[in-house]
Amino acid sequence: MEIRVYGPGCARCSTLEQRVFNALASLDVAADVRKISSLEEITDAGVMATPGLVINGKLYSQGRLPSEDEIKTWLRSELGE
């Protein structure tokens, strides 16, 4: 699984990254998680408001801070559960 957290480095972006790690640990799922802070890469990914969350190339969230439960739901969806 490939997960990208997009944001310039603000506190909300860091919180989103931590929630992703917590959700992965809770589900016992391994993933390649990367934090992207380059404005060019953020816009290239189609993220118009940060923080942004992309899982397996699909934009799930932007401009808000999703809950850990929401992230778990999205992860399960990507796992086919």
Look up 13 and say whether it is catalytic: yes
Point out the catalytic residue in the list 10, 39, 48, 49: 10
From the candidates 13, 16, 36, 53, give the one annotated as an active-site residue: 13
24 is catalytic: no
Whether 75 and 81 have beta carbons less than 8 Å apart is answered as no
SS3 letters across 5-74: EECCCCHHHHHHHHHHHHHHHHHCCCCEEEEECCHHHHHHCCCCCCCEEEECCEEEEECCCCCHHHHHHH
Active site members? 10, 13
